[in-house]
Every structure is written in structure tokens, then in C-alpha cells.
Amino acid sequence: MENKKIRALVVEDDPDFCFLIEKTLCAAGIEHIGSVSNAKEAVIEAVRMKPDVVLMDLCLADSVSDGIEAGKEIRLNTDAKLLILTSYEEPEVIRNACCRSFASGYIFKSQFGLLPETVKSAAKGRTPQEYMIVSLILSELSVAERSVLELLMGKDLKLQSSPKTISNQKNNLLKKLGLSGTEELRHVFKDLV
């Protein structure tokens, strides 16, 4: 990322705030590759444009779930880092949104000045926020499910469970995380577990 310009896609349904984000990114030397205002377009454009970072407004069309679901689809279908951009500052809302969308971090709209540095940090590598989010996700898993996760991620473990038990734990793990299979699991958690 050092010599390559960071490419950012903005997902925001407030045109004035979107304009402010675009200007702030450009002023910081971050390439603004596009803006969209709804969840469906966000996924399509993220897959098409292959940004380094997607800034995702949490509340699209008055629904928090739109931003979460679009963010999750972007994470599953691209290598982009996902940063939740939100006016909600309730810890439980942020925790839930970041964990369900597999976000790399979040930025409160009230702390807009942190936007350029947060985007740059996310694009360069793993951030403390990202490790915290992964830790929160993993805290919801049983010890056995975490072991199976590590096994699925390629770690050399000798589990004492039967193949049937491991298969059941794998299914429980995928269900808890809202993932459809091992490929999605490996994509989301690569270099994190």
C-alpha cells in the first residue's frame, strides 16, 4: 500500500455528508472511486470496482440492517476492508454491527476528523479495532468451536473429538457466524485466526 494510492468506495445516503467525505478523502490523498446510496448498489459496485476500503453508512434507507447486510456481502465477495461509518454511538449497536458485518473498524460521524487516518490504517494492514472485533466474534464461540475454527483455518491441531462431533461443531460454528461454508470462513478470517 505504500506506493499505491488507497482506493475508497463510499456508501452514504446523505448527499451533503457524502460530498464532505469525498472532499476529505481527496484532500488526504485517498482516491475516491465512487459513491453509492443504497445497499444493493454498494455490493455490486464493491465487487466491480475492487476498492481497498469501503466506508459503509450503517443506516441506509432508515434501516441499520441494510448497512450490516451489505457490509457482510462486501466482506464475503471482495478483499476490501469494511469501515462502518455511523452516527450511532451506543456500544451494543456498534458491537453488533461490526461483528455481524465482519467489519475492520468503525468511525463515529461525530469524530469525522479521524476518517483519513482510519482509512489509511485499515488499508495498510490489520488494525487494533479489527483484532478487537475478531476477538468479540470469537468470544461467542465455545472452546470446541474455536478449536474447529483453527483447524479449518489450517492450523495443525490434533482434536480428540470424533469426525462426527467435529462436523457438528463446524456446522454450529458456521451457523453462529452466519456463514454458508468453509470457504467464506477462511476468506473472512484469513490472517486473523
Query: How many CB atoms are closer than 10 A to CB 47?
Result: 13
How many alpha carbons fall within 13 Å on the CB side of residue 130? 21
Task: Tell me how many degrees the CA angle 8-30-112 measures, rounded to the nearest 5.
Answer: 80
Which pLDDT tens digit goes with each residue over 129-185? 999 999 999 999 999 999 999 999 988 888 888 989 999 999 999 999 999 999 999
Q: How confident is the model at residue 193 (pLDDT cuts 50, 70, 90)?
A: confident
Which pLDDT tens digit goes with each residue over 68-100? 999 999 999 999 999 999 888 899 999 999 999
Per DSSP (E only), the strands in the chain are 7-11, 31-36, 53-57, 81-86, 105-108
Q: What is the C-alpha to C-alpha distance for residues 101 and 141, in angstroms, rounded to an integer?
A: 17
Share of the chain above pLDDT 90, in %: 77
Judge whether 17 and 25 are in contact, CB under 8 Å: no
Q: What is the C-alpha to C-alpha distance for residues 179 and 106, in angstroms, rounded to an integer?
A: 22
Q: What is the C-alpha to C-alpha distance for residues 7 and 30, in angstroms, rounded to an integer?
A: 6
Model pTM score: 0.90
Q: Which of 78, 87, 81 has its CA nearest to residue 13? A: 87
Average pLDDT of the chain, as a whole number = 91
Listed in sequence order, the DSSP H helices in 12-63 are 15-27, 39-49
Residues comprising the chain, all counted: 193
